[in-house]
A and B are shown apart, each in its own frame.
Chain A
């Protein structure tokens, strides 16, 4: 239990520090690195909860795939050396206040809620997860695969260069001619 508590503290610190980096730093590339750090921490928290498979999937999908896609999007869109106008102080204070109010409200809800104690064991094997995915939750499983295919095709459609056959490009055509 002591080892588990240490792992929990280290992972939680990693997740929160990474989240602060992901939100607070100015450089967008540092934000992505902080995001990856934060999700490594969340994966560690999943490990302490006994869900190893989920931790690995989280690392693969978020830190691997999504992090690299974000780096690609940064390289394709935003030059890192563009001048940044600083955010005005009232807006920063306002958004911090909003986050603090939401945090207080959610914490009150958490303190009031009643959680029944756990009945089963903490350990969840990947076999159990896979069995559930293909028996009770098979509809959600199939829908998520359809969603992923459609999202992939849509991403390619949206981001490709040649948009001459889409209707929106025709209306933008006069502006494009030099």
Chain B
């Protein structure tokens, strides 16, 4: 195992913990937390691969910065949607959001 493999292993575990949380939790905010963990794992992966393998490591930094920006935008939109849903349905538990269920 090289150093790169250790970094990839940590990112893999972080990603799968996030995946578990995304599937298992029912509160929308908890699901958003799990999703952000997965995004952080992805950016860790990109930075580790570009700095420990290949030649140009500043590309990974740029991609990770853009990823952080997208994650911030996504988090802002998601949290405001949660507040709107709470106002409408009085719950942010996904099991109560069954208005469109056939």
Contacts and interface: CB of A to CB of B under 8 A. Distances in A.
Interface of A: 8, 12, 15-16, 19-20, 22-23, 28, 31-32, 35, 38-39, 42, 45-46, 49-51, 53-54, 57-58, 61-62, 65-66, 69-70, 72-74, 76-78, 87, 91-92, 94-96, 98-100, 102-103, 106-107, 110, 115-120, 122, 124, 128-129, 132-133, 136-137, 140-141, 144, 147-148, 150-152, 154-156, 158-159, 161, 172
B68 A98 contact: no
21 contacts: A8-B3, A8-B6, A19-B17, A22-B17, A22-B33, A23-B18, A23-B37, A38-B37, A54-B47, A61-B68, A78-B27, A98-B20, A99-B16, A99-B23, A122-B52, A129-B58, A132-B58, A133-B62, A151-B74, A155-B79, A155-B80
A contacts with B: majority SS: helix
Contacts of B86: 76-78
Interface size range of chain B in the complex: 35 or more
Given A38-B40, A74-B29, A106-B15, A133 B81 contact: no
